[in-house]
Structure 1
């Protein structure tokens, strides 16, 4: 292990804590994004925009409505980001990553690998989060435990907890390959372009903003399909999708290609600040961990 590399446990914790912090701060946007993505389908209200969803949620559910589904979201984020970051860092070390000779595409591959592995592990919590977010009146579930039990009893392990696992993994591959590779690349390019410290606060802020926007653009179509497919259950009146591809085809056929960017404003308003908080705190946690290791040794 090189002097710059953190032990696996510390790498996991740095990623997990920074992402959980970002999730707490931005979850209301994630909640509204998920509901907007439904486009008025599957029994979810069709919202006209930001003002409508904010006022409707507050009037019908109160402030707590903006944190509907937060419990599985935080559990998922802690495990998901800890795994993806640790795998990303370990993959770079294992394959002998060299910034000068490998660059963006190597980081892209390592980021995708980390996201794919993490997504497979945490998909059940993602399913519960989406279903709880869209169950505004608690007509289907009475919390995380109830959602876990009912999903398992009615749909089983793979058809229930791993419903939508393929779009979830695809999204994770795309988002993590984009975000983890873009952040490092942006820091290097911005440093060269405007002559600032690559690890300085200003560079980290600018790089995380760029990363958040690009991640939103590439992930929106897969995110929409993931939300709709995971939210569909075996109930009368609910859409019946043969799989994620069928969900994509039906959505585009019935609503047009623009439906792939339903809720994009909320996705960006969520991922943008999320990326800033996550990447800046991640670098800070890594800096503090390295100081701790130096003092310990």
Structure 2
């Protein structure tokens, strides 16, 4: 696809040129890969923190402890000391695969909904209620397709922890993890935990996509800011904060469901469903446990959102694709 083909979109209006969709998907994947490389250690830290409550009674290096992890910074330092520096990026390949699918599908879907289905009003504005619908639908759809990669990512992130607890390793790589999950649970096993996954993604996209798009358009219409990096940066900061606030509870439940041991039919042995996991978590650890890992979640989402949106907007500009 040439840049000229992509620029046909300018002549016919946004969303009209189907040939631009692959270009947008590729640009989204590139921007998401950059964001993942920069912020993945925070995602690993967040996942470890979210699992700690259910592992509190386990033996840790032969010592009984109620709190294996001591917080965001201590957890990251502990991983480096106990497992090695590069273990902070353990599972990065599966994370990139996941975001290639997830971000690609959700961005393209949201733009199509905004520009061709839900459509802007007569003044060229995209009403908030439409942005909410578009963000949640796009995020949920993207995550549904990306759930197998997300399942593999979560399990790979916990391998270092399992090794220190004296447990046998479950996976050694993406292909081996994929075949193991497929052999144990079949196709259905690849979508284990997809319901909380999709719920979380819908909320995160509501916070990320909807907030970014809404704040960006507000700034362009009501301030002297132009469609430049400063505008993109301010919009992405707001998007990261709202996304973390909405998505952390669902992220906690998702991580626990996807990390649990399963039987030969692919059914979880610890939690029967999203509701069961939610109730057991609240009962044993309290409501505040639903926001375990909020700090690293927000600390990751803020730079992730900024890195992604700044990179994405610049790539679109460089390749002649209209600004998001």
Residue 182 of structure 1 corresponds to: 211
Is 1:132 aligned to 2:156, yes or no?
yes
**CA–CA distance in 1 between the matches of 2:207 and 2:286?**
26
Distance apart, 1:93 and its partner CA: 2.5
Residue 295 of structure 1 corresponds to: none
**CA–CA distance in 2 between the matches of 1:269 and 1:164?**
25
Matches for 1:231-250 after TM superposition, within 5 Å: 231-234=259-262, 240-250=270-280
**CA–CA distance in 2 between the matches of 1:209 and 1:272?**
6
Residue 198 of structure 2 corresponds to: 169
Matches for 1:29-108 after TM superposition, within 5 Å: 29-42=42-55, 46-95=68-117, 97-98=119-120, 100=123, 102-108=126-132
**CA–CA distance in 2 between the matches of 1:60 and 1:40?**
20
Cα pair 2:105 2:141 within 8 Å, conserved: yes
Cα pair 1:40 1:46 within 8 Å, conserved: no
Return 2-11 or 245-254, whichever deviates more. Answer: 2-11
Distance apart, 1:193 and its partner CA: 4.9
Is 1:252 aligned to 2:252, yes or no?
no
Q: Deviations over 1:58-84 (max 9, x none)?
A: 111111110111111111111111111
Task: Give structure 2 stretches of 5+ with no counterpart.
Answer: 1-8, 61-66
Residue 226 of structure 1 corresponds to: 254
**SS state of the match for residue 54, structure 2?**
coil
Distance apart, 1:143 and its partner CA: 1.6
Cα pair 2:46 2:72 within 8 Å, conserved: no
Distance apart, 1:270 and its partner CA: 0.7
**CA–CA distance in 2 between the matches of 1:105 and 1:23?**
30
Specify whether residues 139 and 114 from structure 1 end up closer, same or farther in structure 2 by C-alpha distance, changes over 3 A only.
same
TM-score by length of 2: 0.83
Q: Deviations over 1:209-262 (max 9, x none)?
A: 011001000000000000000000137xx9611111100100000000001010
Decide which of 91, 114, 118 is 2:138's aligned counterpart.
114
RMSD over aligned Cα atoms:
2.1
TM-score by length of 1: 0.90
RCO comparison, higher one (Cα < 8 Å, 6+): 1
**CA–CA distance in 2 between the matches of 1:40 and 1:147?**
25
**CA–CA distance in 2 between the matches of 1:71 and 1:121?**
17
Distance apart, 1:130 and its partner CA: 0.3
Decide which of 13, 31, 35 is 2:26's aligned counterpart.
13
Task: Give structure 1 stretches of 5+ with no counterpart.
Answer: 293-297
Specify whether residues 66 and 215 from structure 1 end up closer, same or farther in structure 2 by C-alpha distance, changes over 3 A only.
same
**CA–CA distance in 2 between the matches of 1:275 and 1:95?**
26
**SS state of the match for residue 272, structure 2?**
coil
Decide which of 287, 290, 307 is 1:277's aligned counterpart.
307
**CA–CA distance in 2 between the matches of 1:90 and 1:204?**
20
